[in-house]
Amino acid sequence: MDEPENRLAKEASSYLKGAAHQPVDWYPWGDEAFARAKAEDKPILLDIGAVWCHWCHVIDHESYEDPEIAKIINERFVPVKVDRDERPDVDSRYQSAVNAISGQGGWPLTAFLTPGGKVFYGGTYFPPKDLYGRPSFRRILLAVSDHYTKERADAINTAESLHQALAERRGLHLHEADVNEPLLKEAVDGLKGQFDPVNGGFGSSPKFPHPGTMEFLLARYHRTKEEGLRNMITRTLTGMARGGVYDQVAGGFHRYSTDATWIVPHFEKMAYDNATLLSNYAKGWALFRDPLFKDAAEGIVRWTDEVLSDRTNGGFYASQDADVGPGDDGDYFTWTLKEVRAVCTEEETTAIALRYDIGERGEMHHNPAKNVLFADKMPAEIAKETGWPAEKVESILKSGLEKLRKGREKRTAPFIDRTVYANWNAMYARAYLDAYRYLGREDCRDFALKTMHLLRSKLWDPVHGMHHQWANGVRRITGFLEDHIWFAAALLDAFETTQDPDWLEEAETVMRFALDHFWDAKGGGFFDVSASDGAGANSILALKRKPVEDSPSPSANGMAGLVLQRLHHLTGNDEYRLHHDELIRAFAGEASRMGGIFGGAYFHAAELWLHPPAQVVIVGGKKDTRTQALRRAAVETFSPGKTVLVVERDGAYVPAAVEPMLSSKQAMAGPVAFVCKGNTCSPPAGDPAKLRELLSG
């Protein structure tokens, strides 16, 4: 007999549909739930989580599937469940509110709201029994319900006061700091102070990748060649690529490390992490030529191609879960020594165990025999220890890893959320174009462009803008800044790669929509939701929010600064420059308070605002093989923030500094490239090698 289903069975979200058989009378986010709460004068229990979230599965299993707990919830609350991937606008605001009350944040987020949607109590995970110094969920539910019933005025006053404080804090950003070299140096000095010189990364544990910060450091190192920056970049990229946070068997990165040494991860794999880290590693390879960086980038591509993408239609999926069941903790990804012996020869087992520190006792608390694979001993050390030739060690490691990969494929794999989100797909398309630029992967370019066609045809609407979600052949949810900014950035990358003017025209269309619907005309910068979108289900969505913090992906406003600058350089439209200037100045004070770890995307944009990037103008027929060679050199050379424009006819736009040089003998004689920074241009270069040299700094 089938279990009864609640309202969530009809939802598009995998996370919400996964709760359809729970005995809790869940509502999805929307007016219906708030109307019932007001009609019955009941508080709302809000659960925000995600399909990839380990502790969300735990609280689902322990509490929301418990009939007794469900009975308390159904009698005393109106329960609402939200997928944070689907509704980042709802999640970000309630994260701020709960953090202000409890000092906690993350998922699952458990919040108690007035019928109007304002928070009066909250936390994250609550255990089924008093545990970990936390009261049981049952105790919390009863206490909160009693408090609301008996001391309603106090609960409402708390909610109103908190809401007002958030409204004031999330109001207009003040222009509190100058944008100058001391501001950037302060950010770099802060990063140096938090840098882990042994393991790489910033801070201790848990340790997250910070791809926006890496982009800032890569851009600054490209200009300054400062050894301290090189050390921070290379140690961090090396530490992550050798650690267990990188899937040594199949490629791709897990979400973060629970320790300072990058060894034991939270095992979920996210589209946004792997997209932005692919860009980091591809650029790291382009700058430093470390084979480890290339291998890590290739590993991300291999895993993404096999697991996280729709090869037929284009598009990248959202995530792969960490676990298969409630008692699981990364078992799909980890190995006992016995499991290795079962699939490998004796020599392969010896080499694999030495390379990846696999022993009888591993790192996992729930099953001490389970090992997280991380690069421990180098092949040369293994050769010395075993007496085998280096070539034999390399061959055995390769064959052993392939057997582990095939052996793992026989296991039940964690769930893959095949939802296509606009922002994460644009990130991934950009990363795949980076793989084309710096790794020579034409297949990545082709799939990126296929994905861009999917986004353009399925998710863009000239009236409503970008839709956020494509699931089961249906597009849903509009009004998010990050979808527009990341799509515009990807459109510009597609233009650079192909020189097809349609991509540039579309980038302008999308940015014009963003300026019309998200721009703060009073304070500068962009709001995260459209002004015309309205508050929707309740007033918390009316809270003004201008995201400049990387959380964890590079912030939409930081990225917008980069997009506006590139659009100005490609079109000469001064409106882009004026908005760019205003945006950079608007967030200087906020970024200074955040520092380089959480303000990486902003500081990347500020670095290129203060020190203008290269504008490459190639004059020549697009079908001329010499023009094509120059274009390839420009596209494939790492130069942060650069633009590439191929001009083959009179009357086409070129930067003002280039115009007087078009009549020079060299320009008239044949295809040449000019490299301009600010108001200064290089002499014309007809040799691709010379162009690469000019761009390398």
Query: In this predicted model, what pLDDT tens digit does every residue of 248-280 receive, in sequence order?
Result: 999 999 999 999 999 999 999 999 999 999 999
Residues with Cβ < 8 Å from 668, sequence gap 6 or more? none
Mean pLDDT value across residues 135-161: 93
Run of H or E residues at 532: none
Predicted confidence band at 537 (pLDDT cuts at 50, 70, 90)?
low
Determine contact, residues 349/338, Cβ cutoff 8 Å: no
In the structure encoding, which two tokens stand for residue 216, read together? 């800032």
Q: Examine the pLDDT at 33 and tell me if it is beyond 50.
A: yes
β-strand partners of 466: 460
CATH architecture of 185-324+419-610: Alpha/alpha barrel (1.50)
Q: What pLDDT does residue 274 have?
A: 98
Instruction: Taking residues 515-536, report their average pLDDT.
Output: 85
pLDDT > 70? residue 193: yes
The mean pLDDT value for 552-571 works out to 97
Domain 337-411, CATH 1.10.10 — does that match?
A: yes
Beta bridge partners of 584: none
pLDDT at residue 532, as a whole number = 66
pLDDT band at 174 (very low <50, low <70, confident <90, very high): low
For residues 571-581, average pLDDT: 98
Tens-place pLDDT, residues 439-488 = 999 999 999 999 999 999 999 999 999 999 999 999 999 989 999 999 99
What does the pLDDT look like over 286-325, one tens digit per residue?
999 999 999 999 999 999 999 999 999 999 999 999 999 8
**Residue 172 pLDDT class (50, 70, 90 cuts):** very low
- The beta strands (E) that lie in 115-201 are given as 119-123
pLDDT, one tens digit per residue, over 86-123 is 999 999 999 999 999 999 899 999 999 999 999 999 99
How far is the CA of 59 from the CAs of 69, 109, 491, in angstroms? 11, 11, 41
- Residue 1 banded pLDDT, cuts 50, 70, 90: very low
pLDDT beyond 80 at 44: yes
The angle at the Cα of 693, spanning 687 to 697, to the nearest 5 degrees, equals 150
User: Does the pLDDT at position 162 exceed 80?
Assistant: yes
Specify the pLDDT at position 514.
98
pLDDT at residue 349 is higher than 90 = yes
> Model confidence at 3, in pLDDT bands (50, 70, 90)?
low
How much is the pLDDT for 171?
Answer: 43
Where is pLDDT greater, at 220 or 166? 220
CATH 1.10.10 in the chain is located at 337-411
Quote the pLDDT of residue 177: 84
For domain 7-169, give the fold. Glutaredoxin (3.40.30)
Whether 59 and 45 have beta carbons less than 8 Å apart is answered as: no
- Show the tokens assigned to 459: 């998710």
- At 185, the pLDDT band (50, 70, 90 cuts) reads very high
How far apart CA 24 and CA 66 sit, in angstroms, is 9
Q: Give Cβ neighbours of residue 329 (< 8 Å, ≥ 6 apart).
A: 54, 267, 322, 323, 364, 365, 366, 367
pTM summary value: 0.96
Q: How much is the average pLDDT of 639-650?
A: 92
* Ranges of CATH 3.40.30.10 domains, the chain: 7-169
Average pLDDT, the chain: 94
Q: Are 125 and 118 in contact (CB under 8 A)?
A: no
Query: Domain spanning 615-696: which CATH class is it, in words?
Result: alpha beta
Q: For residue 322, what pLDDT is reported?
A: 93
The top-scoring range by mean pLDDT among 11-25, 128-142, 537-551 is 11-25
Question: Residue 220: pLDDT above 80?
Answer: yes
Confidence of residue 169 (pLDDT cuts 50, 70, 90): low
Tokens 């302060």 map to which residue? 186
pLDDT value of residue 166: 80
Average pLDDT over residues 141-150: 96
Rounded CA-CA distance 97/94 in Å is: 5
Least confident of 46-60, 157-171, 226-240, 283-297: 157-171
For residue 521, give both structure tokens.
């005309």
Q: Taking residues 178-190, report their average pLDDT.
A: 97
Token pair belonging to 338:
């016995």
Count CB-CB contacts under 10 A for residue 290. 16
C-alpha to C-alpha distances, 288 to 294, 431, 476, 695, nearest whole angstrom: 10, 18, 42, 15
Q: What contacts 74, CB < 8 A, 6 or more positions away?
A: 23, 24, 25
Rounded Cα–Cα distance for residues 448 and 658 (Å): 32
Residue 2 pLDDT > 80, yes or no?
no
On the question of pLDDT at 590 being above 70, the answer is yes
Q: Assess contact for 457 and 315: CB atoms under 8 A.
A: no
| Averaged pLDDT for residues 330-338 | 97
